[in-house]
Amino acid sequence: MANYIGSAETIITAALSNLPSSHLSHLTHSISALFRRHLRRLTSLLSSPTIFSLTLRHLQSLSLHHKSFLIARHLLSNLTVLHHFVRDSTSAATAAPPLYSAAHMKLRDLDAVLLLLLLCELYQHDREFLDAPPSRWRVVLSDYVSDSVLRLSSFGGCSSAEILTQFVESVSRCWNLVNLMGFSGGGGGEKEGREAAASAAAVVALPSVEVGGGGECVICKEEMKKGREVCELPCGHLFHWICILRWLKKRNTCPCCRHRLPTDDVRREIRRLLDDLAVYGGGGNTRLNIQECL
C-alpha cells in the first residue's frame, strides 16, 4: 500500500503537469475558492464554543468506519475538482465542477471532517495533545491554526505552485487516513467486483440529442430513426432513452466502450477518477496498480 500512496501523488502531479495554462489557472482559482470556504467553516467552528462542542460531540458519536467514510467523501470532492479540469473539453475550464451525490457533503459533515483532519494533523505534531481535557481542545486548536489562518486568508498573494502543492498534500493526507482507517466502501452498498448503478445525478444530467443519420441502438438492436430524441453518453454513443435508463439502473458503463459514469459508491468513484487522472497524466501502467490496491 505504501507504494500506491506514492503512486497516487505521482498520478496527480503528472495530471497537473499536463494541464494547459488556461485550465491550470482556472483550477488554481477553484482550489483557492475551495480552501477559502473550508477556512471560513473552520474559523467559525473554532471561534464558537457552542458550534465546536456540537461538532465534536457529533464526531465522537461516529464509528471509525463512518469517520473514514467522511474523509473518503472529502477526498472524492477534491479529486472531482481536479478531474473536472483534466477532461478533454475546452469548456471544462470555465464551467463549475459538477457535484455528484457521492461527493456532496452536508455542512454538518463538512465541519466534522474538517475538525477530524485538524485533530489528526495536530496529533502528528504533538502526541500529548489528546491528553488535555476536551474542554481545552478548541483553544489549543485555535492557537495551532492561527498562523495558517493568516496565511490562507491572503491566498491572492500565493503563487499557483504554492496553492497546487498544498492541494496535492491535502489529497495525499486524506488518502493516507482513509487507508489507515481501513475504509472498505460506502454509499452504494455494492460489493467489490460487482456492477454498480450509475448515480441518479449523473443520469439526470445526460443530454437529449436528435438523431442525425439513423443508426442502431446496440442495447435493443433496433433502428434509431432520424430526427428522434435519444440519449447521448459522455463518450458520444447514442441510445434509446428507455434502453439506456434500464441499463444504467444496473451498471455505470457504456454498452459500447465501457466508459464509466459516476456512481454513488465513494470507493468506486475514487478509483474511477484516479484511473482517469492516470491516463491523462500518461501513467497507463499505474491503472493496474489502482485496480489492485483499492
Instruction: Report the CATH number at residue 238.
Output: 3.30.40.10
Co-location of 142 and 219 in the same domain: no
Q: Which residues in 28-43 are b (16+ Cβ under 10 Å) and which e? A: bebbbebbeebbebbe
Q: Is residue 261 part of a domain?
A: no
Residue 214, pLDDT > 90, answer no
Residue 100, pLDDT > 90, answer no
Confidence of residue 147 (pLDDT cuts 50, 70, 90): low
pLDDT of residue 255: 95
Distance CA 111, CA 46 (A): 10
Confidence of residue 286 (pLDDT cuts 50, 70, 90): very low
Please report the DSSP string for the chain in residue order: -HHHHHHHHHHHHHHHHTS-HHHHHHHHHHHHHHHHHHHHHHHHHHH-HHHHHHHHHHHHHS-HHHHHHHHHHHHHHHHHHHHHHHSS-GGGGTSPPP--TTT---HHHHHHHHHHHHHHHHHHH-TTGGGS-GGGHHHHHHHHHHHHHHHHTTGGGS-HHHHHHHHHHHHHHHHHHHHHTT----SS-PPTTS--PBPHHHHHT--EEE-SS--B-TTT--B--TT-EEEE-TTS-EE-HHHHHHHHTT--B-TTT-PBPPBS-HHHHHHHHHHHHHHHTT-TTHHHHHHHH-
Co-location of 129 and 232 in the same domain: no
Residue 289, pLDDT > 50, answer no
Which range, of 96-105, 204-213, 268-277, averages the lowest pLDDT? 96-105
Calculate what percentage of the chain has a pLDDT beyond 90: 29
Co-location of 100 and 138 in the same domain: yes
Average pLDDT over residues 232-242: 94
Q: Is residue 164 part of a domain?
A: yes
Co-location of 146 and 222 in the same domain: no
Co-location of 244 and 272 in the same domain: no
Q: Is residue 41 part of a domain?
A: yes
Average pLDDT over residues 132-146: 84
Distance CA 178, CA 147 (A): 27
Confidence of residue 148 (pLDDT cuts 50, 70, 90): low
Q: Considering its fold, how many domains does the chain have in total?
A: 2
Co-location of 68 and 108 in the same domain: yes
Co-location of 130 and 211 in the same domain: no
Co-location of 207 and 278 in the same domain: no
User: Which residues constitute the domain of residue 82?
Assistant: 2-185+268-293
> Between 126 and 60, whose confidence is greater?
60
Distance CA 24, CA 229 (A): 36
Co-location of 127 and 169 in the same domain: yes
Average pLDDT over residues 54-66: 92
Quick: pLDDT tens for 252-281: 999 999 999 989 888 888 988 888 888 888
Q: HEC string of 247-269? A: HHCCCCECCCCCCECCECCHHHH
Co-location of 99 and 233 in the same domain: no
- Going from the C-alpha of 241 to that of each of 31, 139, 225, 232, 233, the distances in angstroms are 36, 56, 13, 9, 11
pLDDT of residue 55: 94
Q: Is residue 260 part of a domain?
A: no
Q: What's the mean pLDDT when you consider all of the chain?
A: 80
> Between 138 and 90, whose confidence is greater?
138
pLDDT of residue 252: 94
Average pLDDT over residues 238-242: 95
Residue 234, pLDDT > 60, answer yes
Co-location of 56 and 171 in the same domain: yes
Confidence of residue 35 (pLDDT cuts 50, 70, 90): confident
> Between 146 and 187, whose confidence is greater?
146
pLDDT of residue 257: 92
Q: Is residue 96 part of a domain?
A: yes
72 C-beta neighbours (distance < 10 Å), count: 28
Co-location of 175 and 272 in the same domain: yes
